[in-house]
Chain A
Amino acid sequence: EADIYQTPRYLVIGTGKKITLECSQTMGHDKMYWYQQDPGMELHLIHYSYGVNSTEKGDLSSESTVSRIRTEHFPLTLESARPSHTSQYLCASSLPGGSYEQYFGPGTRLTVT
């Protein structure tokens, strides 16, 4: 059973505010991911990390940034939120080595007004 947590679950915030979406996993997984998903659309990879101090941008360009200072923690930050950032943000992790399966958190539904 995967244990991956995201907070907050829902966030409504005004334009220009700085926000941090939290993601933590207790499984010791090396690989962690952030996806963005709009209703009825595919999940798009925006950031990933293969370990501490390793972060890469994904296929979808994003104005967000990430950090990986501890194995279990992979926060995503938006310095200045805009209405175009309104979306669902999903965090995932996977086992080290050759594993394909990713385990997802419950997501954060972000609305920027």
Chain B
Amino acid sequence: DQQVKQNSPSLSVQEGRISILNCDYTNSMFDYFLWYKKYPAEGPTFLISISSIKDKNEDGRFTVFLNKSAKHLSLHIVPSQPGDSAVYFCAVSGSARQLTFGSGTQLTVLP
């Protein structure tokens, strides 16, 4: 059973608008949450993270929101740029510090 789900395999957004990527997890024991970005033929690149003691973390155009009661996190990108087009993976971690990944969402930002 998948512990981390990204239910939207793809998302298209107009340049300058907001991109919202979603991720759901099943285990309330997870205490750290990360987003990675992956371009074709490259490895994932760490983007932003959030601890379970917070509900929001911001870094420039990227904001991650965590709703622990709903076991849901989201990544907001504002404004979206064509260079943001990539696959975005959410990952969760518990006490073992190992990462469990979702299946990714392909974001396409249209110029």
Return chain B residues, CB-CB under 8 Å to A103.
46
The residue in chain A whose Cβ has the minimal distance to the Cβ of B90 is: A42
A42-B103, A43-B89 known; A48 vs B98 contact (CB < 8 Å): yes
The residue in chain A whose Cβ has the minimal distance to the Cβ of B6 is: A42
Stretch of A14-22, A61-69, A73-81, A104-112 on the interface side: A104-112
Interface magnitude class on chain A:
20 to 34
Cα(A67)–Cα(B32), bound, Å: 29
Cα(A90)–Cα(B9), bound, Å: 21
Contact residue among B42, B46, B103 (Cβ-Cβ distance under 8 Å from A101): B46
Q: Does B101 contact A (CB under 8 A)?
A: yes
Return chain A residues, CB-CB under 8 Å to B45.
104
Q: Give the residue among B2, B41, B97 with the most A Cβ atoms within 10 A.
A: B97
* Residues A99 and B97 in contact, CB atoms below 8 Å apart: yes
* Residues B43 and A100 in contact, CB atoms below 8 Å apart: no
* Residues B99 and A102 in contact, CB atoms below 8 Å apart: yes
* Residues A106 and B97 in contact, CB atoms below 8 Å apart: no
Interface string of A8-43 (1 = CB under 8 A from B): 010000000000000000000001000000001111
CB distance from A74 to the nearest CB of B (A): 14
Give the 7 A-B CB pairs with smallest separation, nearest first: A104-B43, A43-B101, A42-B101, A42-B103, A100-B32, A104-B44, A106-B43
Chain A contact residues, CB within 8 Å of chain B: 4, 6, 9, 31, 40-43, 45, 48, 58-59, 90-92, 94, 98-107, 109
Chain B contact residues, CB within 8 Å of chain A: 2, 4, 9, 32, 34, 36, 41-46, 49, 89, 93, 97-104
- 14 A–B contact pairs at CB < 8 A? A9-B41, A40-B104, A42-B89, A42-B100, A42-B101, A43-B89, A43-B99, A90-B44, A91-B43, A94-B97, A100-B34, A104-B36, A104-B43, A106-B42
